[in-house]
Amino acid sequence: MQGKVNFVMLRHGSSVANEGQRFGGWEDVGLAERGIEQARHAGRLLRDTQTRWDIAFTSSLQRAIQTLDHCMAELIDPLPTVSDWRLNERHYGRLQGMSKAEAASLYGAECVQAWRRSFRARPPQLTFDEYLSVAGSQVRIPRGESLMDTQQRVLGCWRDRIHPALMSRQKSSRQTRRFVGNKGRRCRPSLSCFPFPMP
């Protein structure tokens, strides 16, 4: 008998970058006060389902980790957590840390809109010197990503870690609950390629 699998995706709470209308990307900013309350509210909603969750996956960015921490503070039992950089926000290249208005003034509103919404268009890439200054030994850091690039990166984590964890419990009779902290705008292109082979 196969168990039922429940899978929740949660956007991180409002960050300092969100509050300032800035491109966050891989800029490692924390949650704003509003984001902390959003995370705790999400935790209370999950607690009210009276479900015992098994495991949580999160990106390596502080806003996602803090969201998970505040969310779990509202749950009855703490969760084992897996952090993976492949769940990080889309890398916005040279736009990171820039406000939406600053980007539109520098590059033009139409270009910025295309970079944000097009599936294949990449934002201006970090220069090699800029890349070296932030990458250090983390050789996998991108210089700037399209939505397609982000989708492929997240899909790698899905195939390697999340999907096997789901399926390992689906084969048992135990009901399995998995929880993934994620970013709303990145969830949409990611979900379009997730092959959910569930009952």
Residues annotated as catalytic (active site), given as ranges:
12, 89
* Backbone φ, ψ for residue 186 (5° rounding): -85, -20
Pick the closest to residue 63 from 99, 17, 96, 94 (CA basis).
17
Pick the closest to residue 7 from 164, 151, 127, 166 (CA basis).
166
- Looking at the DSSP assignment, which residues form a beta bridge with residue 11? 182
Helix (H) or strand (E) holding 6: strand 5-11
How many Å apart are CA 180 and CA 10, to the nearest integer?
6
Which tokens in the block code for residue 89?
């926000």
Longest dimension (CA), the chain: 59
- Burial group, residue 168, by CB count within 10 angstroms (0-12, 13-18, 19+): exposed
Helix (H) or strand (E) holding 113: helix 109-117
User: Would you put residue 108 in left (φ > 0), alpha (ψ -120 to 50) or beta?
Assistant: left
